[in-house]
A and B are shown apart, each in its own frame.
Chain A
C-alpha cells in the first residue's frame, strides 16, 4: 500500500484521495439502501459526498501547494474533482439526450457557476496558503499575489447574469438563455 502511495506524485495525493473518498461515498449514498444500510449512514455519506464535490477543490489545492506545487499547477490539480463530477453529469445527460445534446447540457449555468465557485474556493485556499507562508517564512515575497484571479470569474458571471436579468428580464446562463441556445442548435 505504501509502495503504491509512494508511486503517486505527492502533489496529487490529496486530490486523488478526495476523489477516491467521493467515489466510495457515491456508492454508499446511491446504492446503500439496496443492501439495507441505515438511512443515518446514507445521510452521512451524502454529506461527505457533498463536501467532496463542493470543497474537494479547495482541499486539493492546499494539498498540492503544501507539497510544493506553484499556484497554477495546484489549480490544475485541484480541478480534478470538479472536472470528474462535471464529466459524470455530462455522461448522465448523454445517456438521456444523446452525445451532442449531452455535451450542451454540460454548459448549463449550474455548471458554469459551479466552476466559478470552485475557483473561488481555491482562492480562499490560496489565501490561506499565502497566510501560512507569510507566518512561517519570514520575509517571503510571494504574499497575496494572484489571489484576486480566483475571484474574477464569478464576479464576471454574476455581473453578466445580473445585467441580463436586471435590465432585460432574461436569464442568460440559466433557463431562458440556455434554452434559446438549445433551440438554435438542436431544433
Chain B
C-alpha cells in the first residue's frame, strides 16, 4: 500500500514538472517575458506562502531589537531565512501597497492609488502565472481595495470580507468565499473552525488549505487584518504589556492621537496605551504565524516552501509628531520583510541591508516557481540575493503618496537612496532632504543647506527621471545609474 502511494506520488511529481515546463513554454509564447530563467525551475516547484500583516512597522520585531515586543515566530522565519532590514513599500497606504505586492508594479501602473481609485481587474497578479504553471492558489484574508471585490483570475479560493468597508473587524467578521457571502460564524473551509477572532480564523483557514493541498504545489496568500486599528489582541495576548514602560520619541507626547488632524484616525487614547495594544496584537498574530510554520514542518513541506512575511506599510508612533502611515518618513514606508526558502538559501539567519520593495515579491515568487518574469513587472527578483549571488539590488527608488482626501497628508514623492532621502511635497509643506547616514531619524532638513545644493540637484533630477520612467504606459525597470 505504502509502495503504491510512493509510486503514485512520484508519478504525480513528474506530471507536475512536465505540466510546469509545458505551461512555462506556453506562457513565454504569449507574453513578452524576460529570457532570465532560474536554476531552481528545473526542480520540483516550491510551495509559496506569503503572509501579509497590516500596518506592522519594521522595527516592531524582537529580531530587530525592539525593547519589549516578543515575536519568536517571525524571528524563527528570519533564523531560517534572510531578514531584509531595509525593506520598503512604494506607497505607504493599504490599498496601493497591496496591489503592488500582487502585481509587482508601482501604483502609477496598477492604478490603485488611494481610497478612491478602484482595483482594475485587467491588472495581472502573480496568481495568474502560477495558475498557468499548475499551482493551486488561494487568497485568504484582507483584500481591502476600493471597488467591488473582483473575480480575481488565477485564484482557486478567494476567501475575504467586505465588512466595515473591507477593513473587517477583530471579532464577528462574516466571510466571502469566491463571491458568495457567508453568515457570521460560517466557515469557508469545512473542518476549519471559526473562533470569532479574525487572526485565528484566517490562520485556521490557511492551515486547512495547506493540509488539503499538501500533495500539490500551492500558493497561499494569507492576509491578516492585524495589526491595524483598533489594534485588538486576542484574550491570551491582551494585557501582556500593561505594566510595560513605553518610551515615545522626544517630539511626541501622550495626547498626540487627539492633536491636529490625528484625531481622525480614531486612536483616541494615550499614545502609550495604543502602542501596547499594537504590540499585543502583533504578538497574537505572531503566535498564529507560528501555527503556520508548525504545520509546514509537520507536513514536511518547509524545505520546499518559499515563505515570505511582510507588511503593507509601517506606522508612525509619534515620530515627527505624527501617527498613522502615508508619510515618506522611515517609520511609515519601511516594513518587515523576511524570506525563508531553504531550498535556495545560502547562509540562513543572514541579514541583508539591500533596499527591497513590495514590488519585488511577485517577481521573486515567479522566479522561484520557474516562471519567466513578465516585462510589465517593475520589481526585481530577490532570489539572487537569497542565494548570495548578487549583493546589490538597487541604489535608489521612488516613493509616492497620492492625495487621499480628507486625510491631512499632502501628496508627496520621495527619492530614497542608500544615503539620502529627498521628499518633494506637492503643496502645504517645505520639501525635505535628509542625510540618513548622519540623521537616521530625519530630524534635520538640509534643503536650505548650501553645501547640499549639488546633492539636492542630483537627487531632484533622479527623482524626476525615475518618476517619468515608472509612469510610462509600459514601464521598464528602474534606472540603472548609480547613486
A residues adjacent to B (C-beta < 8 A):
29-30, 33, 39, 42-43, 46-47, 50, 89, 92-93, 95-98, 101, 105, 108, 110, 175-176, 178-179, 182-183, 186-187
Known: A46-B253, A46-B254. A182 touches B405 (CB 8 A): yes
B403 at the interface (CB under 8 A from A): yes
Do B261 and A92 have beta carbons less than 8 Å apart?
yes
Number of interchain pairs (Cβ within 8 Å): 65
Do B264 and A110 have beta carbons less than 8 Å apart?
yes
Do B428 and A95 have beta carbons less than 8 Å apart?
yes
Do A43 and B255 have beta carbons less than 8 Å apart?
yes
Do B428 and A96 have beta carbons less than 8 Å apart?
yes
Compute how far the CA of A2 lies from the CA of B115 in the bound complex, rounded to whole angstroms: 55
Q: What is the distance, in angstroms, from B436's C-beta to the closest C-beta of chain A?
A: 22
Q: What is the distance, in angstroms, from B388's C-beta to the closest C-beta of chain A?
A: 44
Known: A96-B409, A179-B116. A50 touches B255 (CB 8 A): yes
Q: What is the distance, in angstroms, from B248's C-beta to the closest C-beta of chain A?
A: 8
B408 at the interface (CB under 8 A from A): yes
Known: A50-B258, A95-B428, A96-B427. A29 touches B410 (CB 8 A): no
Do B116 and A183 have beta carbons less than 8 Å apart?
yes
Known: A33-B250, A39-B253, A179-B115. A97 touches B406 (CB 8 A): yes
Pairs across A and B, CB under 8 Å, 12 listed: A33-B253, A46-B258, A46-B259, A95-B410, A95-B428, A96-B408, A97-B403, A105-B406, A110-B264, A179-B116, A182-B405, A186-B405
Compute how far the CA of A49 lies from the CA of B331 in the bound complex, rounded to whole angstroms: 28
Q: What residues of B have a CB within 8 angstroms of the CB of A47 in the complex?
A: 255
CB-defined interface of B400-426 with A at 8 Å, one 1/0 digit per residue? 000101101110000000000000000
Q: What is the distance, in angstroms, from A83's C-beta to the closest C-beta of chain B?
A: 18
Q: What is the distance, in angstroms, from A168's C-beta to the closest C-beta of chain B?
A: 14
Q: Which residue of the partner chain B has the closest CB to A26? A: B259
Taking A46-B255, A93-B408 as known contacts, 15 extra A-B pairs with beta carbons closer than 8 A to each other, sorted by chain A number, are A30-B321, A33-B321, A39-B253, A43-B254, A46-B254, A50-B255, A92-B260, A92-B261, A93-B406, A96-B409, A97-B406, A108-B264, A178-B406, A182-B406, A186-B405
**In chain B, residues 375-412, which have Cβ atoms closer than 8 Å to a Cβ of chain A?**
403, 405-406, 408-410
B251 at the interface (CB under 8 A from A): yes
Q: What is the distance, in angstroms, from A96's C-beta to the closest C-beta of chain B?
A: 4
Compute how far the CA of A151 lies from the CA of B126 in the bound complex, rounded to whole angstroms: 56
Q: What residues of B have a CB within 8 angstroms of the CB of A96 in the complex?
A: 403, 408-410, 427-428
Q: What residues of A have a CB within 8 angstroms of the CB of B321 in the complex?
A: 30, 33
Q: What residues of A have a CB within 8 angstroms of the CB of B409 in the complex?
A: 96
Q: What residues of B have a CB within 8 angstroms of the CB of A110 in the complex?
A: 263-264
Q: What residues of A have a CB within 8 angstroms of the CB of B253 in the complex?
A: 29, 33, 39, 42-43, 46
**In chain B, residues 106-158, which have Cβ atoms closer than 8 Å to a Cβ of chain A?**
115-116
CB-defined interface of B160-190 with A at 8 Å, one 1/0 digit per residue? 0000010000000000000000000000000
Main secondary structure of the interface of B (DSSP, over half): loop
Q: What is the distance, in angstroms, from B326's C-beta to the closest C-beta of chain A?
A: 11
Q: Which residue of the partner chain A has the closest CB to B264? A: A110
Compute how far the CA of A29 lies from the CA of B252 in the bound complex, rounded to whole angstroms: 10
Q: What residues of A have a CB within 8 angstroms of the CB of B429 in the complex?
A: 95
Compute how far the CA of A114 lies from the CA of B312 in the bound complex, rounded to whole angstroms: 33
**Residue among B259, B264, B409 with the most chain A CB within 10 A?**
B259
Do A187 and B116 have beta carbons less than 8 Å apart?
yes
Q: What is the distance, in angstroms, from B448's C-beta to the closest C-beta of chain A?
A: 17
Compute how far the CA of A39 lies from the CA of B249 in the bound complex, rounded to whole angstroms: 10
Compute how far the CA of A105 lies from the CA of B258 in the bound complex, rounded to whole angstroms: 18
Q: Which residue of the partner chain B has the closest CB to A41? A: B253
Compute how far the CA of A101 lies from the CA of B410 in the bound complex, rounded to whole angstroms: 13
Q: What residues of A have a CB within 8 angstroms of the CB of B428 in the complex?
A: 95-96
Compute how far the CA of A96 lies from the CA of B327 in the bound complex, rounded to whole angstroms: 13
Q: What residues of B have a CB within 8 angstroms of the CB of A98 in the complex?
A: 427
Q: What residues of A have a CB within 8 angstroms of the CB of B255 in the complex?
A: 29, 43, 46-47, 50
CB-defined interface of B241-252 with A at 8 Å, one 1/0 digit per residue? 000000010111
Q: What is the distance, in angstroms, from B243's C-beta to the closest C-beta of chain A?
A: 20
Q: What residues of B have a CB within 8 angstroms of the CB of A183 in the complex?
A: 116
Compute how far the CA of A157 lies from the CA of B131 in the bound complex, rounded to whole angstroms: 51
- By Cβ-Cβ distance, the 9 closest A-B pairs, closest first, are A46-B255, A95-B428, A96-B428, A105-B406, A42-B253, A96-B410, A33-B251, A43-B254, A43-B253
Q: Which residue of the partner chain B has the closest CB to A176? A: B165
Q: What is the distance, in angstroms, from A54's C-beta to the closest C-beta of chain B?
A: 10
Compute how far the CA of A29 lies from the CA of B260 in the bound complex, rounded to whole angstroms: 11
Do B406 and A108 have beta carbons less than 8 Å apart?
yes
Compute how far the CA of A108 lies from the CA of B165 in the bound complex, rounded to whole angstroms: 18
Q: What residues of B have a CB within 8 angstroms of the CB of A30 in the complex?
A: 259-260, 321
Q: What is the distance, in angstroms, from B259's C-beta to the closest C-beta of chain A?
A: 7
CB within 8 A of A29: which of B165, B259, B403? Answer: B259
Q: What residues of A have a CB within 8 angstroms of the CB of B252 in the complex?
A: 33
Q: Which residue of the partner chain B has the closest CB to A183? A: B116
Q: What is the distance, in angstroms, from A6's C-beta to the closest C-beta of chain B?
A: 36
**Residue among A43, A96, A97, A105 with the most chain B CB within 10 A?**
A96
Q: What residues of B have a CB within 8 angstroms of the CB of A29 in the complex?
A: 253, 255, 259
**Residue among A29, A186, A187 with the most chain B CB within 10 A?**
A29
Q: What residues of B have a CB within 8 angstroms of the CB of A108 in the complex?
A: 264, 406
Q: What residues of A have a CB within 8 angstroms of the CB of B403 in the complex?
A: 96-97
Q: What is the distance, in angstroms, from A50's C-beta to the closest C-beta of chain B?
A: 6
Q: What residues of B have a CB within 8 angstroms of the CB of A46 in the complex?
A: 253-255, 258-259
Q: Which residue of the partner chain B has the closest CB to A95? A: B428
Compute how far the CA of A89 lies from the CA of B406 in the bound complex, rounded to whole angstroms: 12
Q: What residues of B have a CB within 8 angstroms of the CB of A89 in the complex?
A: 261
Do A101 and B405 have beta carbons less than 8 Å apart?
yes
